[in-house]
Amino acid sequence: MKIYDVIIIGGGPSGLMASIAAAEHGASVLLVDKGNKLGRKLAISGGGRCNVTNRMEIQELIAHIPGNGRFMHSPFSVFNNENIIQFFEGLGISLKEEDRGRMFPVNDKATTVVETLLNRVRELGVQIQTNTAVKTINYTEEAVSEVVLQNGGRLPTHTVIVATGGKSVPHTGSTGDGYPWAEKAGHTITELYPTEVPITSNETFIRNKTLQGLSLRDIELTVFNPKGKKIKKHDGDMIFTHFGISGPAALRCSQYVVKAMMKFKTSTIKMEIDLFPRVSDEALFQQLLAKVKAEPKKSIKNLLKGFATERILLFIYDKLSVDTQAQASTVSHDTLRAIVTICKHFEIEVNGTLSIEKAFVTGGGISIKEIEPKTMHSRKKKGLYFCGEVLDIHGYTGGYNITVAFSTGYTAGKSAAEQVVHK
């Protein structure tokens, strides 16, 4: 039986990149995955277009990784977003930059990215075993000794890279398999929670589906703590759903909702939507006043057409009991101010998020305090490495998590190979 220098468990973005890096640096590599095909999460990422990385400056990139982003300084010194771009372009995939620095293949096909990575893995002689579930990793006092398969098979090795992902999007194979193996080695698993996930609400207008399907563009969304202090705000687009709110701005706020509910032991959290983030309350009021003065005889409904999305305006009129047919000149300043207040401070009480399985990303994981950042090596056992979402690192959507996966994967693969080859 062949003994491999490095065994990698998990064929997602970090595992594939770890395989490539380890093989490029001279190691004999075996990649095992419990699924029937590799790169399943990659194939559906970026809405099937695969957002391979983000071209922001490193400091800004790290700011978009709110879950322990500072840890990434070291892996980025080995393999960063520009290296990822060069890597893919070197394999013949042309990339294009879209809004907020997001990088996509020019042909908008995630399958091209997956196939190209798999071709490179095979070209380097990496052995692949799919439909191969791992039961556990065995250790001696100090080091890795073997990988034990569910079918009873044993794979002796001194070096294992765990790239099993978190618990989100479980149909791609991320079902939290790596956590018990890490705990067995003495690692701490920080509390797992959903991030980049739609937010739920029990508000009457949500239950009644009054605004369901309504998209809002370029708004600002704020999460407040129970004392009314702002925790976090994000700008972007959002959508009302039958269970709450979703869309990029909501997904980015979701982890702060979850953390606030845990921290303050509360069942609800207040959020606010600002429909006009670049205009002050007073300036908006003056805009309405100017409209009324210009066309005093128009009905308030016709006068404010196009001022905001019609469904939101109808909702506001209903909430404030505004007679929509009333002449604009008869509408009081107090009513106009009330309209402005809702436009600028549209309150929604939220009660959590969808489950971790419905989340795009897992928060929490193997404590990064127990990982060497320059190598991704365990501080607990020799020959044990971790990369990707199994770690307690998470970013916003927009190419940040995949950048973390590729960077930590490459760093782990390179370090593992160098350890073995230079023995």
Residue 332: exposure state from Cβ atoms within 10 A (0-12, 13-18, ≥19): exposed
- For 21-68, write each residue's pLDDT tens digit: 999 999 999 999 999 999 998 888 888 899 999 999 999 999 999 999
- For 89-140, write each residue's pLDDT tens digit: 999 999 999 988 999 999 999 999 999 999 999 999 999 999 999 999 999 9
Residue whose structure tokens are 């509390």: 191
CATH of 6-193+359-421, one of 3.50.50.60, 3.40.50.970, 1.10.3720.10, 3.60.110.10: 3.50.50.60
- For 300-349, write each residue's pLDDT tens digit: 999 999 999 999 999 999 999 999 999 999 999 999 999 999 999 999 99
- For 377-417, write each residue's pLDDT tens digit: 999 999 999 999 999 999 998 899 999 999 999 999 999 99
Helices (H), 124-266: 178-184, 204-207, 248-263
Identical fold, 6-193+359-421 and 198-353:
no
Helix (H) or strand (E) holding 408: helix 400-421
- For 84-97, write each residue's pLDDT tens digit: 999 999 999 999 99
Can you tell me the distance from the alpha carbon of 366 to that of 382, in angstroms, rounded to the nearest whole number? 16
264 is written with which tokens?
């303050």
Can you tell me the distance from the alpha carbon of 270 to that of 154, in angstroms, rounded to the nearest whole number? 52
- For 138-175, write each residue's pLDDT tens digit: 999 999 999 999 999 999 999 999 999 999 988 888 89
Can you tell me the distance from the alpha carbon of 79 to that of 75, in angstroms, rounded to the nearest whole number? 6
Q: Which CATH superfamily is domain 198-353 in?
A: Translation factors (2.40.30.10)
Q: Please report, for the chain, the start and end positions of each structural domain, with discontinuous segments joined by +.
A: 6-193+359-421, 198-353
Answer yes or no: are the C-beta atoms of 198 and 244 closer than 8 Å. yes
Can you tell me the distance from the alpha carbon of 222 to that of 218, in angstroms, rounded to the nearest whole number? 13
